[in-house]
Amino acid sequence: MTRDAESPFGRLALDRHAELGPAALRTVGAVAVTAGSAWLAVAVGSSLAWVVAGIGFLASLAWVGMARVARRRVASASAFALTLDPGGLTLAEPGKELQVRWTDVEDIAINEERLTVVVTHDGGHLLAIEPRFGGLGTHALHDRLLRARTEATTRAVDGGKP
């Protein structure tokens, strides 16, 4: 299997920066919202202020939880990978590995609302791939998957020649 710069095939490792950047922003946001919520609850003191402050505290807890998940993901980064080869794609996460053959792929699209690449396969099953592999953004990951599928299909038609 070729691994030059032009080849779409290869192993895409978890991008640590793509995980830790948003985690840091969520942590900073949680601190700011917690401080603002505390100020609102104490300074204003009305029941509506307490309700809004409570919502702020809950949002802060959610952001802290999301940041912790991202840090755990980075700690076990070697277990996460997206591998593209002429036979198909393999999405590996701790405890599970999903393989999809290119012949089973029906569509590769971008979900603009969730900023994920969605691979439709095997009669309508959806596989959402977040842009956290190989330093690729959503559109670059989408393009890479399309190129891999096209090249794999071309190789299959040409008898396996690169």
What does the pLDDT read at residue 12? Answer: 95
What does the pLDDT read at residue 156? Answer: 67
* DSSP code, position 79: G
Share the mean pLDDT of the chain. 91
What does the pLDDT read at residue 95? Answer: 87
Q: Are 66 and 23 in contact (CB under 8 A)?
A: yes
Bridge pairing between strands 125-129 and 116-121 = antiparallel
What residues of the chain score a pLDDT lower than 50?
A: 1-4
pLDDT digits (tens, 9 = 90+) for 107-153: 999 999 999 999 999 888 999 999 999 999 999 999 999 999 999 98
What does the pLDDT read at residue 1? Answer: 40
**CA distances (Å), origin 94, targets 17, 21, 42, 54:** 19, 22, 44, 35
% of the chain at pLDDT higher than 70: 93
- 18's tokens: 């793509």
Residue 153 CA to residue 155 CA, distance in Å, equals 5
Spacing of C-alpha 62 from chain mean position: 18
What does the pLDDT read at residue 88? Answer: 95
